[in-house]
Structure 1
Amino acid sequence: MAMRVNWSPFTGGLGAKSRPPTTQFLRHSQTRLASSGLVYSSSRPSGSEKSKFNWTSPTTLVLGFIPIFTFGLGTWQIQRLKWKVALIEELEEKSRREPLVLPKRINLSVLPEFAYRRVLLTGTWDPDPSHTILLGPRTRDNVLGYHIISPLIRGDGASSILVNRGFVSRDTLEQGKQIMQGVRSDIPKTAALVADAAKQGKVQVVGMLTSAAKHNSFTPDNKPETGEWYWADADAMAKVASGQNGDVQPVLVDELFAGDGAEASRRSTHGIPIGRPPEIELRNMHATYAATWYSLSAATAFMFVALVRRGRGGRDPKFTRRVT
């Protein structure tokens, strides 16, 4: 039988069924890609590769938990937002009511129900400087100072109560120092201010009942023996303000100041305390917090889905790494 002979200039002469040069080039290129570990693949991973996805890996569990957890935090912030809006509306409604005239003896058990209610007080300021308390330091318009808390003697058989008369700068208090005999270092600072208040005689004060202050771990403890007060502990303040024979109930009222900036400047210049504004301002950032948590939940949920699809072969990579 005669053998079929093909002539190929690429084989150097005669050859049996010699391959075309293009085929040889592609095979040679594929061999080099395979040796480097990269091969071209247009097919999806096999079923055995899909089954290798580990649902119990730490990365999968953590990334799957984060969207649920952050979504719960966002929902919680929405609930807090509803509560804060209702509280603001309640306080605004209270502030619009006519001022209360407090009874001669105040029932302390129902006092929390009247927090942020405006009250009308009549009496004289206690002339003893050892009964006045400096609460602070505090700041107002970037000025360092203290709040002046003095007992108001209501008279006619009524108990005395504590009144936060407002802010006085530290410079004013330092200028008003007098040489006095006393254990507490704050007494010389308040002596002149208390004396000026006592000269006013009978006064009428429009104030606002406060809610009970709570001590936190970031605030130092009060030191009544040295006149250092960092938070408004009404019970302890009432004991100091009562002295030996006084009758001061642990009721704290913030004096209101409705004047403008010019009046506030005049008071500051003359060392007159500046009370709190009558408006109630509560910080309400719950809507922003909720949006942040929901956005984080959506982002991490997208990452989790992408991780699952990648692990189960849901994408179509052009190049895959050959595992040897």
Structure 2
Amino acid sequence: MPETSRRSPLRKLIVPAIATAVVFALLCSLGMWQVRRLHWKEALIAQVDSRLKEAPVPAPGPDRWQSLDLTEADYTPVTVSGEFLHDAEAHLYNSLMEPRGPVGGVGWFVFTPLRTDEGWIVYVNRGFVPVEKEQASTRPAGQVPGRVTVTGLLRRPETPGRFQASAKETSQQWFARQPDKFAGRAGLPADKVAPYTIDADATPNPGGLPQGGETTVTFSNNHLQYVVTWFGLALALVGVFIAYARGVLKRRD
């Protein structure tokens, strides 16, 4: 009987020890996953930084769209020539707090379809305009006619966030970069529209608007703090278990 009584406190540690081991392993696996994500994000940032220094290449045409990895191609410098379809502008809401040009604040990025020399279409983000200059009629000088050549950065499309405002069905005001939706609203043939967009460089437009070259090249990289968080929780869990075990053993003594 005395031996049973002596062992019973130790038995109380079996279930907590197993639970602690399971949760500890889970927390460590989450920490290691974030370590891998950190390495991936750092490599991506380095790759994009290097890509931005490259000479522009011709924008991918329809023969490459099916095999094009849009995530991999994001921020690739490209060039394309054709004619703007100004009557089919799409406007993407943006709050430009740190503009590179003279105009900033709340406004819109102007996405204009460009019919290329080859006949296919790509939406070009020509740049930023303030709220009061959203309508093309307020900036007629910037509606460049005839053949143009655009140089800029290829950008992959975006998926609207869960809490993001939705575009109105009867307008061309948008809250996510969606070239397929832009084209559908404008009545453009879907099979002729590129699955990506191009952010034009800072080459000035007549009249100063739209204000190009406002692409924000930033990546959120919070993985290191997540690594610290998960491994910190794992160590804290071990500390809590040790404190609990000591209490049990003291009661046994």
The code of the aligned residue for 1:171 comes to E
**Number of residue-to-residue matches in the alignment:** 241
Matches within 5 A, 1:214-253: 214-243=159-188, 248-253=193-198
Aligned to 1:192: 138
Question: Which of 107, 111, 128 lines up with 1:145 in the alignment?
Answer: 107
Residues 1-324 of structure 1: pairs in structure 2 closer than 5 A: 48-49=5-6, 51-53=8-10, 54-55=12-13, 65-102=22-59, 105-112=62-69, 113-128=72-87, 131-136=88-93, 138-141=94-97, 143-155=105-117, 157-173=118-134, 189-193=135-139, 195-199=140-144, 201-243=146-188, 248-257=193-202, 270-277=208-215, 280-313=217-250
**Is residue 234–residue 250 contact of structure 1 (8 Å, CA) maintained in 2?**
yes
The TM-score normalised by the length of structure 2 is: 0.78
- After superposition, the C-alpha distances for 1:235-288 in whole angstroms (9 at most, x for unaligned) are 1212334558x9544431112338xxxx9xxx8x954323334x7322222112
Secondary structure class of the residue paired with 2:79: strand
Shift of 1:122: 2.2
**1:135 to partner: Cα distance:** 1.2
Is the 8 Å Cα contact of residues 162 and 250 (structure 1) preserved in structure 2? no
Greater Cα radius of gyration, structure 1 or 2: 1
- Offset of residue 141 of structure 1: 0.9
Contact 1:205 1:255 survives alignment (8 Å): yes
The runs of 5 or more residues in structure 2 that have no matched partner are 99-104
Deviations 1:16-66 (A, max 9, x none): xxxxxxxxxxxxxxxxxxxxxxxxxxxxxx983552352366x76655544
- After superposition, the Cα gap between the structure-2 partners of 1:120 and 1:199, relative to the gap in structure 1 and judged at 3 Å, is closer
Q: Percent identity?
A: 24
Does the 8 A contact of 1:135 with 1:147 survive in 2? yes
Shift of 1:312: 2.1
- Secondary structure of 1:110 counterpart: coil
Q: Quick one: structure 1 residues 94 and 199, their matched pair in 2 at CA, closer, same or farther if it must change by over 3 Å? A: closer
> Which consecutive unaligned segments of at least 5 residues does structure 1 have?
1-45, 174-188, 317-324
Deviation per residue, 1:107-154 (Å, 9 max, x gap): 3112325332110122332232xx001112x21117211111101232
- How far 1:304 sits from its partner (Å)? 0.5
TM-score by length of 1: 0.63
Counterpart residue identity of residue 84, structure 2: W
- Identify the range of structure 1 (219-228 vs 280-289) with the bigger mean alpha-carbon deviation: 219-228
C-alpha distance 106-209 of structure 1, shift in aligned 2 (>3 A)? farther
